[in-house]
Structures are given as structure tokens and as C-alpha cells.
Amino acid sequence: MRLIRYQTPQLSNWQSFDRLSSLRNELDRLFDLSWSGRDSGLLSGWSPALDVSDEKDHFVVNAELPGLKKEEINLSFQDGVLSISGERKQSKENKEGETFRSERHFGKFQRSVTLPAAVDSSKISASYKDGILAVTLPKSEAAKPRQIAVNVA
Amino acid sequence: MNTTFTKSEPQTVRNGGVAPRVEYVTPPANILESKDGYVLEAEMPGVSKDGLEVTVENGELTILGHRAPVDSKGREVYRESRRLDFRRSFELDPSIDTAKIVAQMDQGVLTLHLPKTEAVKPRKIAVNS
């Protein structure tokens, strides 16, 4: 499965005294950088975190996309690859007044994930709640787990 | 590609018999100031209005977001998100009228309006001839 690694927002942990956790973050970043290469979200906007789970007869892909409108999310499925893209626009309110902190990412994002088994593309559905996009992809009949009866010869 | 370094559960660390400590994720935030006050936006995907706690104590604003539990019976194939609650504290400008703070939660983004007290707002004074 080929994925573009999620870039952990480089924020200082509120428990900055926790050395172990900061070491872990450093290691995370090291691996992120060496694996993602040029395709990383570092140069091209931001990339939302993705989760994939196998629920026996379907897959669920969750993406963390806080603060978007339903219309700003594009979903497509082709050749076993689910693509999530869109653009988060900065609200007008942000353009006036002085900015003290600017840690949120705005702009375009794009993530793709190859599903580990065949899915029925006509039955894919998606919902968006509390800033999380949940895509349900039912497996095609051939890919569903099957119980096989053992016959005594 | 593995996610070995991503912790799967809220971990508690024992500090030599002291109360266990809970780990949190720091939500990314934007803060801007206008004439009337401040606006704070914090990203907490997976947190609903009911899972949110905003407290002000000793001039410090703390936001705490509990993620909704995941109802998955399946097997995890891949994970990047961290299943920890969100927590962050901000020191408040003394000019903020803490009684008038308004919080709003929309698709995982918390927006806090922190108005300044009337006394510090810029005011136009009419000149009498």
C-alpha cells in the first residue's frame, strides 16, 4: 500500500518536559521525511491524517478534515484507489486584525489510498461529522471472507 | 510502512507512585486580535460539542476535547490519527472580559470569541465646540 505520510504538525507538546515523548516525535519526523520524499505534503500544502480499517464486509477510510464544508471535499475512486482532495479556504475574518498565532493549514490537500482488496465502487458512501470524513467501501462479493464447509469424504 | 511510533491508546505514565499522567494532543490554533477582542480557533477533529470543556482559571484558558469513542469491530489496516484527547492552555490578556467568552464548535474546529472589557476598547470622543 503506497501512502503519502501525514506530516505531524510541529507543535511544542504542552508537556515539554517529557523527554521521551519529544524523542519519539523526533524519530517520527525522521521516518516521515525519509519515507515520504518529494511527494510529502511539505511542499504542497497540507495532508490530513488517514485511517483505514477492515470491517470484514467493508472498509472504512477516515480522514481528519476539520473545518471544511461538505462541498469543499472531493472524493473519487478509480482502479482500487480512493482519492480525497479539496481546498480549505481561509475565512474572511482572518484577513483583518493582527495575527498572534497561525498554526492551522489552509490551501489544497490531496491524499490517495489503495484499498487492500476489491470493492464495489457503485456502493461507496461517505459522511462528514465533527471534522472527520468517513468513507465506507463495501467489498465486492469475491473479496468478502467466506466460511468453507469441510466435507467428510 | 508501519506506525510503530504512533501510540494507539491514551497512555498513562507512572511517576514513581504519583498519580498517573495522561497524554494529550496539542491542537493547532490560530489567534487573531481585533479592536473588540480576540478570536481563537483550534482544530480538534472528532470532538463534538458535548466532548468539549472550556475553562478559565487564574487568567488561564484551558480547552479540553474528548474524542468520540471509535465503534469499530474490525481490524486496523493503517492509522495516522492519534487516539488521544486534545488539551491546550492559553494565558489570557487581562483586558479580556472572561464573562463574555463565547464558544462555538463546527466540524471539529472550536472558535472562541474573547471580547475585551469595555474599558480598554478604543473609543471615539466627541469634541464639543
Kindly state whether A131 is in contact with chain B, defined as any CB-CB distance less than 8 angstroms: yes
Give the residue carrying C-alpha cell 497524554. B23
Assess if residue A63 is contained within a domain.
yes
Nearest by CB: A97 against B6, B32, B46: B32
In what order do the strands lie in the sheet containing B86-91? Answer: B47-57, B60-67, B86-91
Q: B118 phi and psi, to 5 degrees? A: -55, -35
> Distance between CA A6 and CA A1 in Å, rounded?
15
For the entire predicted model, the pTM comes to 0.71
Kindly state whether A141 is in contact with chain B, defined as any CB-CB distance less than 8 angstroms: no
Q: B41 vs A104: CB contact, 8 Å cut-off?
A: yes
Nearest by CB: A68 against B6, B26, B107: B107
Q: Which residue has the higher pLDDT, B99 or B123?
A: B99
How many distinct helices (H) and strands (E) make up chain B? 0, 10
Assess if residue A61 is contained within a domain.
yes
Is B25's pLDDT higher than 80? yes
Assess if residue A148 is contained within a domain.
no
Is A148's pLDDT higher than 80? yes
pLDDT for A19: 60
Chain B neighbors of A9, CB-CB under 8 A: 28
Domain over B23-69+78-120 is classified CATH 3.40.50.850: no
Nearest by CB: A65 against B33, B45, B74: B45
Assess if residue A84 is contained within a domain.
yes
**Structural domain span for residue A70:** 19-90+102-143
CATH number at residue A35: 2.60.40.790
Cell numbers representing residue B2 in the block = 508501519
Q: B30 vs A99: CB contact, 8 Å cut-off?
A: yes
What residue spans define the domains of chain B? 23-69+78-120
Kindly state whether B64 is in contact with chain A, defined as any CB-CB distance less than 8 angstroms: no
* Start-to-end C-alpha separation, chain B: 77
Region B26-41: what's the mean pLDDT? 91
Give pLDDT tens digits for A45-81. 688 999 999 998 999 999 999 999 999 999 999 999 9
Cβ atoms of A103 and A11 within 8 Å: the answer is yes
Report the candidate in B105, B42, B47 with the shortest Cα–Cα distance to residue A14.
Answer: B42
B29 to chain A: closest CA residue: A103
Chain B neighbors of A6, CB-CB under 8 A: 80
Nearest by CB: B45 against A24, A52, A130: A130
In chain A, the number of structural domains is 1
> Distance between CA B123 and CA B119 in Å, rounded?
9
Q: B26 vs A13: CB contact, 8 Å cut-off?
A: yes
pLDDT for A127: 95
Looking at the complex, report in whole angstroms how far the Cα of residue A153 sits from the nearest Cα belonging to chain B: 35
Confidence class for position A113, pLDDT limits 50, 70, 90: very high
Chain A neighbors of B76, CB-CB under 8 A: 51-54
Cβ atoms of B82 and B17 within 8 Å: the answer is no
A134 to chain B: closest CA residue: B46
Cβ atoms of A88 and A63 within 8 Å: the answer is no
Assess if residue A106 is contained within a domain.
yes
In chain A, positions 86-125, which contact chain B (CB-CB < 8 Å)? 93-94, 96-105, 113, 116
Confidence class for position A118, pLDDT limits 50, 70, 90: very high
Tell the burial category of A94 from Cβ atoms under 10 Å away from its Cβ (0-12, 13-18, 19+): middle
Q: A121 phi and psi, to 5 degrees? A: -65, -20
> Distance between CA B73 and CA A55 in Å, rounded?
7
Kindly state whether A74 is in contact with chain B, defined as any CB-CB distance less than 8 angstroms: no
Kindly state whether B14 is in contact with chain A, defined as any CB-CB distance less than 8 angstroms: no
pLDDT for B126: 85
